[in-house]
A and B are shown apart, each in its own frame.
Chain A
Amino acid sequence: MSRIGIISLYTLQEVRRDRLFWGFVPLMFAVIALSFFMRETTIVGGAEAFNRSYIALTTLAATAFIVLLVVSSLYREIDSKAIYMVVTKPLSRYEYILGKFIAFSLISVGIIVISFTGAVALGVGSVKPLAVHYILTALEQIIIIMAALTITLGLRSLPSIILGVAGFYIIGHSTKKMVDIAMQMAQAWVPVLKVFYYLFPSLSFFNAQAAVLELGPVSWSDIIFPAGYAGVYLAVLFLILSIDIRKRDF
């Protein structure tokens, strides 16, 4: 097995025994219970309220959960100096990052599959729009995982890491709205603003909630552009992290 695979394997091994990991089970029950609560307390359109609530909550809970796992696991490794034992072994620092990234991405995919299966079982929507939505959510989470790794290894102080990751998420979900408003206000600056649109994390690409709620059409091709964007964004983040960590003193 390659050293990247070894890092991934033991990261998964550790996460599997982490109490935080098993916190996902009650979290899912809470999401379902809250969705049922929304259905029962909504006077008109209870079923739609249930569907809307389930999708929004699973997406948000899964993202918050994976971010917590990445940050807590990596920060603990830095704080306890266990990272020193690993990076002084015959492997390069980028192999270490890739190993961690693969492990957390696999966990993320597992969580998304559970959320998707739950959505199908509870009749939240048709299978195809649900599949498109959760694939897009997985792509978003993979970007967030790489960002969380970059921020945690870069900042190494817990309050700064929390602010950094929260900032990335908030900016990611605000970029489109902010650029749209700015473009309406300053037509001449549209080309420049479009650069910002792609330069900042734009996480609003990764959402097909409207299609699931039958508010618009959906097709498999809706995944192509976000997947390409995610690939480029991941490559850029990985490049930044690799350059930074290669030149960084521990």
Chain B
Amino acid sequence: MSITIKGLSKLYGKFKALSEIDLNIQTGQSVGLVGLNGAGKTTLLKTIVGLIVNFDGEVLINNHAVNDREAKSNISFLPEDFSPPLYLTGYDFVSYMLRLYGRGFNKEEVDAFADTLELQKNALSQPIRTYSKGMRQKLGLLAVMLPDTGIVILDEPLSGLDPGARVIVKDAFGILRKKVKTLFFSSHILTDLEEVADRLVVIHEGKKTFDGTPEKLRSFSGRSLEDAFLQVIRSNQAS
């Protein structure tokens, strides 16, 4: 399951949100997308999942255009700051998402995944409006893990979560990687990214400024990964 992006540019009026992005993500890779606020991370992810349709360039999912049914069958997406429909129960929501992929609902399978995310089974029978932010995020993760798609795309999956929930979510990443999923996710927290990504892509002001392993990024500075990230951005600004 690959993602191929060639010369991707996106304009919002006169503002260039993405500029000539080229990216190739192969099956089984776990790629972290890093950038400052407004760098274009969400725009890039939204384009890959077909939410943004007006762009220049080419985005292919396993050699299919992003809005082809075939491409969409292979992608699961979790948006940032997302809340499932409040009046459905957790089980209803998961079943809804699975059925849209043409998959049946298996309560035992759902319960087993919910256990790994430490999402209580009795909570799944309750309306989502009773859930905390962390529980909603875990439910969203459950809904992207269960359909067994080849590509999983997550926009800031760790934002707003407490340290306990972050550990659980990172463990869930481990499960996804074992299932040879292609993972592409954005985050502000570089130390979290380093733990779960084997490749980092830095974008700044809509341009790709770095693409490589966390070790390679770290080599830009003798200090922390954050420092190296800032060095990369500053060197890009200078050039």
- Chain A interface (Cβ < 8 Å from any Cβ of B): 1, 3, 6, 10, 13-18, 76-77, 80-82, 84-92, 246-250
Is B97 close to A, CB under 8 A? yes
A89 touches B100 (CB 8 A): yes
B52 touches A90 (CB 8 A): no
Q: Return the contact of A247 from the options B53, B96, B127, B143 (Cβ within 8 A).
A: B53
Tell me whether A13 and B51 are in contact in the complex, defined as CB-CB below 8 angstroms, given that A85-B82, A90-B69 are known contacts. Answer: no
A/B interface sample: 22 pairs, CB < 8 A: A1-B99, A6-B96, A10-B85, A10-B88, A10-B92, A14-B88, A17-B88, A77-B85, A81-B80, A82-B85, A84-B77, A85-B79, A85-B97, A88-B49, A88-B51, A88-B77, A89-B72, A90-B101, A92-B69, A247-B53, A248-B53, A249-B51
Chain B, interface size category, equals 20 to 34
A13 touches B88 (CB 8 A): yes
Q: Which residue of A lies closest to B92 (CB)?
A: A13
B99 touches A6 (CB 8 A): yes
Q: Which residue of A lies closest to B55 (CB)?
A: A249
A90 touches B100 (CB 8 A): yes
- How near does chain A come to B45, taking the closest CB pair, in angstroms? 10
- How near does chain B come to A216, taking the closest CB pair, in angstroms? 44
Q: Return the contact of A85 from the options B53, B80, B140 (Cβ within 8 A).
A: B140
Chain A residues lying within 8 Å of B82, measured Cβ to Cβ, are 80-82, 84-85
Chain A residues lying within 8 Å of B92, measured Cβ to Cβ, are 10, 13
B72 touches A90 (CB 8 A): yes
Tally of A-B Cβ pairs under 8 angstroms? 86
Chain B residues lying within 8 Å of A86, measured Cβ to Cβ, are 100
Tell me whether A84 and B79 are in contact in the complex, defined as CB-CB below 8 angstroms, given that A14-B88, A89-B101 are known contacts. Answer: yes
* Interface residues in B14-51 (C-beta closer than 8 Å to A): 46, 49-51
Is B102 close to A, CB under 8 A? yes
Tell me whether A250 and B87 are in contact in the complex, defined as CB-CB below 8 angstroms, given that A82-B82, A86-B100 are known contacts. Answer: no
- Report the separation of the CA atoms of residues A92 and B69 in the bound assembly, to the nearest whole angstrom: 8
Q: In this complex, which of A10, A15, A86 has the most chain B Cβ atoms within 10 angstroms of its Cβ?
A: A10
Chain B residues lying within 8 Å of A90, measured Cβ to Cβ, are 69-70, 72-73, 100-102
Chain B residues lying within 8 Å of A85, measured Cβ to Cβ, are 77-79, 82, 84, 97, 140, 143
B100 touches A3 (CB 8 A): yes
Beyond A13-B92, A89-B72, A89-B100, 9 additional contacts (C-beta under 8 Å) are: A16-B87, A82-B84, A82-B85, A85-B82, A86-B100, A88-B51, A89-B101, A90-B70, A91-B100
Q: Which residue of A lies closest to B136 (CB)?
A: A80
Chain A residues lying within 8 Å of B54, measured Cβ to Cβ, are 247, 249
- How near does chain B come to A185, taking the closest CB pair, in angstroms? 43
Q: Return the contact of B52 from the options A1, A81, A250 (Cβ within 8 A).
A: A250
Is B231 close to A, CB under 8 A? no
- How near does chain A come to B182, taking the closest CB pair, in angstroms? 16
- How near does chain A come to B158, taking the closest CB pair, in angstroms? 17
| Chain B positions 191 through 219: 1 when the CB is less than 8 Å from some CB of chain A, otherwise 0 | 00000000000000000000000000000
Is B171 close to A, CB under 8 A? no
Q: Which residue of A lies closest to B95 (CB)?
A: A10
7 nearest A-B pairs in the assembled complex, by CB-CB distance: A89-B100, A80-B83, A17-B87, A250-B51, A90-B72, A90-B73, A84-B79
- How near does chain B come to A103, taking the closest CB pair, in angstroms? 12
